[in-house]
Structure 1
C-alpha cells in the first residue's frame, strides 16, 4: 500500500468505523455519545478531504479507490446499528435504516458480481448526495443522544410536575432544562427526517445502479 496522506486519511476513517461502536462498550453515556459524535464527524470530514487531496495532488491509487467506498459504508452501517440499537428499536429509525443497509449490501453484491464491468456503476452525484445526507443525519442523531442524557441528568430527582413547570416557564430554570429539552426534541426530529431523506435518496440511487446493470445480467450475453 502506498502511504500517501489521502490513503492514510482513508485508513483512519476505516478504523474509526468500529471505534464508534466500541465507545459504547467502554464509556458511559453521555461520554460515549460525545466520543462517537466526534469520531463520526471527524471521519465524515476526512471523507471529503482524502478525495480532494488525492485528485489535487494526483495521488489517486488503486488501494485508495478500493478502500474509500468501503470506509464510507462501514461508517454508515456501524453507526446506524448503534443508533437503532440504543433507540429501543424505534420503527421510525428501523425502517429507513433497513432501506439504507439493504441498498448498500445489494449494490456491493452487484459490483462484485459484475467484476470488470462494474465500471458501469460509477459513483453518481445522486450517490454523493445520499452519502452526505446519511452522514449528516447520523451526526444529528448522535447529537440527540447527548441532549437526551444531559436532560435526564438535569431532571434527576425532580418530579414530573416540577419539570413541566420549568419547561412552561412557571418556575425559574436554574439547570438549563429548556434548552436541553429543545435540543433533544429538535435534534430527534431533524435527524429522523434527514434519515428518511437519506433513505429515499439511497433507494433511488440503488434503483439507478440496478437499471444500469440490467444489460450485463442477461443470460444471452
Structure 2
C-alpha cells in the first residue's frame, strides 16, 4: 500500500474531488488550476506504472486501483465538461461513447478475471488513452483560456481529439468484446 506507485495512484483518486470543485467554478483561474491538477494527475498515471515495473514493485493493489483511478478521473472530467457546456450538442455523443466503453470494458475485465483470463491493454488502446487525455486536457484548458486568450484553439483541439478518441474507443471496445466472447459460454 505504501509503495510510491500505489501512493501515486491513490493521489489521483483523491485529486478527483478537488478537480470537480475547481471545474464547478466559473473563474478562469479555477479552471487553470484544474488544468494543472489534471496534467499532474496524467503524469502520475504514467509514473505509477513506470515506477512499479522499473522497481519490480507491481502489486495486486496497484493493478486493481490504477484502471479505477483512470476511469474515475475521466468520468468526472467528462461530467464536469458537459455540466459547464464545454462539451455540448453532438460532442456529447463522443463523450458518452467513451464513458460507456469504460464501463463495458471494466465489466468485461471483471468477468474474465473470474475465469482467470487476462486481457492485456492493446497498443491501439494506449493511443486511445493518449487521445482521450489530450482531448480532456485541452477542453479543461479551454475553460481557463476562452475569455483570456480567445485565439488559443484549445476547444477545437479538444473536440477533434475527443472524436478521435471516441472512434478509437469503438474500435478497441470491439476488439475487447471479440476477445472476451471467446471465453464465454453461449
Relative to structure 1, the CA distance from residue 87 to residue 118 in structure 2 (aligned partners, 3 Å threshold; closer, same or farther) is farther
Following superposition, the deviation at residue 128 of structure 1 comes to 1.4
Report how many aligned residue pairs link the two structures.
Answer: 186
Asked whether the 8 Å contact 2:112–2:118 carries over to 1, the reply is: no
Q: Deviations over 1:135-154 (max 9, x none)?
A: 1111111111112232xxxx
TM-score, normalising length from structure 2?
0.93
User: Where does the alignment leave 5 or more consecutive residues of structure 2 unmatched?
Assistant: none
Aligned-CA RMSD value: 1.6
| Match runs of 1:67-216 below 5 Å | 67-87=65-85, 90-117=88-115, 119-150=117-148, 180-183=149-152, 186-216=153-183
Q: Deviations over 1:71-107 (max 9, x none)?
A: 1111111101111111166123201100000101111
1:37 partnered with 2:11 = no
Relative to structure 1, the CA distance from residue 118 to residue 83 in structure 2 (aligned partners, 3 Å threshold; closer, same or farther) is farther
Give 1:9's aligned residue. 8
CA distance in 2, matches of 1:42, 1:217: 39
Give 1:49's aligned residue. 47
Following superposition, the deviation at residue 118 of structure 1 comes to 5.7
Following superposition, the deviation at residue 18 of structure 1 comes to 2.6
CA distance in 2, matches of 1:29, 1:211: 45
| Match runs of 1:19-30 below 5 Å | 19-25=18-24, 27-30=25-28
Q: Deviations over 1:34-77 (max 9, x none)?
A: 12111111000111111111111111000011000111111111
Q: Deviations over 1:97-142 (max 9, x none)?
A: 0000010111111122233336332111111111111111111111
TM-score, normalising length from structure 1?
0.79
Decide which structure has the larger Cα Rg and report it: 1
Relative to structure 1, the CA distance from residue 111 to residue 58 in structure 2 (aligned partners, 3 Å threshold; closer, same or farther) is same
User: Where does the alignment leave 5 or more consecutive residues of structure 1 unmatched?
Assistant: 151-179
